[in-house]
A = this chain, B = another copy of it.
Amino acid sequence: MVPAESAAANELLAVRAAELYYEENKTQDEIGAILRVTRWKVGRLLAQARERGIIRIEIVHPRARRLALERDLSARFGLKDAVVVPAPADDVELQARVSEAAADYLVSHRPVPRLLGVSWGRTLHQVAEALPSGWSTAVNVVQINGGVSLSKRPGTAAATAVMIAQKAGGQATLLPSPAILERLETKKAIEGDRTVGGVLGMARGASAYLYSAGVADTSSVHVDSGYLTAPDIARLVERGAVGDVIGRYITADGTIADPELDARTLGLGLEELRNSTTSILVIGGEPKHAVARAIVTHGLCSVLVTDEHTARALLDDTDSDHDLEPATTASREDAS
C-alpha cells in the first residue's frame, strides 16, 4: 500500500461518490460504473465520507431539534426528557423557538396531566401563547407561586395560567397572593388562609409542573414587580444567587441563597419540584446558563426545554469529559 497517495485518492473518490449519490441521486451501482469501482466499494466510500464529515446533512427548519444534544443531556443529568432547539442568531427569536418547543412538548406529552402546575413570567407567557387552542381536553391549571399583583403589567401571571387552561378546555386556579411578602408573619398568615392554603395544597397535588427561571439581576421580573429592589438583588448575588426558580433564589450549588428571604417567598418549595414525576423547565438564552445549570445539575427538573447553546454550555461543564460519543452508529466527525 502507498499510504498517503492512496488515502488521498480514496478521499477524492469518496467526494465524487458523495456528489453522485447525494446530488445526482445515482445508485451506488451506477456510481461504481462511473468511477470504475465495485458498488461495494462505493458503499464503503460513502460510509467513509459520512464518517469523516465530508457529507454534511443539516435539517433547516425553525421547528427542528437537536436530538443528539437531547440524548446527551438526558444521559448526563438523568432527565426524563429533553428538547433542544437550534439556536437562531436573534435572541427574541430564540425565546420564541424555545417557547414553541415547550408548547409542542406539552401537547404531545403523555400521560396528559390531569392538573398542571405553572409558574409565570415572560417565558411561560410565550409558551401559553404558543399553545394551540384545544391542545388538550380538560387539563386544569394551578399557579404554583405567588402572582405579580404589584406589577406594572397587572394580570400577566393570571393571564398565563388562564390562557393555558382555556386552550385545553380546563379551569385555572390562581394563587391570590404576592410572590414575596415583606414580613414572615404576613406570609405565614396568608399561607394559612383557607383559599391560599387550598390552592397551595392543590398545587402540591399537580401531576406535572411547567416553569421557567429568572436571572439574578435587575432585569428580573421581581424587580419590575416591586417585590425586590436593585440592592436586594445585589445582596442575593453577593450570597451566590444565580437566579430564581418559582420565586426562590438559588446558588450554583442548588441551595437557597437567602433562607430569610426564601421563608418570605410564597409558593411551592423546591423539594416539591424535585420530587415530582414531571417538572418541565423551559429556559433559553445566554444569561440564563448559570441558573439552568444550577437547576439541571441538582435535579430540580425532570424535563428540560432549551436551546442548543444552553445545552452545549450545560454539557461543556468543566469537571467531566464532554466527549460526544453517541450511542448510535451515527456520524463520527470528531475522529479527525
Chain A residues proximal to chain B, CB less than 8 Å: 11-12, 15-16, 18-20, 22-26, 49, 53-61, 63-65, 67-68, 104, 328-331
Closest 9 CB pairs of A and B: A56-B58, A15-B61, A22-B57, A25-B330, A24-B330, A18-B59, A25-B331, A54-B61, A57-B57
Asked, given contacts A19-B67, A67-B19, whether A328 binds B24 with beta carbons under 8 Å apart, the answer is: yes
- Distance (whole angstroms) from the CB of A130 to the closest CB of chain B: 13
Alpha-carbon distance between A71 and B24 when the two chains are bound, in angstroms: 10
Number of copies of this kind of chain in the complex: 2
Contact check: which of B11, B23, B59 meets A331 at CB < 8 Å? B23
- Distance (whole angstroms) from the CB of A82 to the closest CB of chain B: 14
Q: Which residues of B contact A20 (CB under 8 A)?
A: 67
Q: List 7 A-B contacts (CB under 8 A).
A: A20-B67, A22-B331, A23-B330, A25-B328, A55-B57, A55-B59, A57-B57
Alpha-carbon distance between A22 and B56 when the two chains are bound, in angstroms: 10
Whether B328 lies near A67 (C-beta < 8 A) is no
- Distance (whole angstroms) from the CB of A20 to the closest CB of chain B: 7
Asked, given contacts A23-B331, A68-B23, whether A59 binds B54 with beta carbons under 8 Å apart, the answer is: yes
Asked, given contacts A67-B19, A330-B23, A331-B25, whether A59 binds B56 with beta carbons under 8 Å apart, the answer is: yes
Whether B59 lies near A15 (C-beta < 8 A) is yes
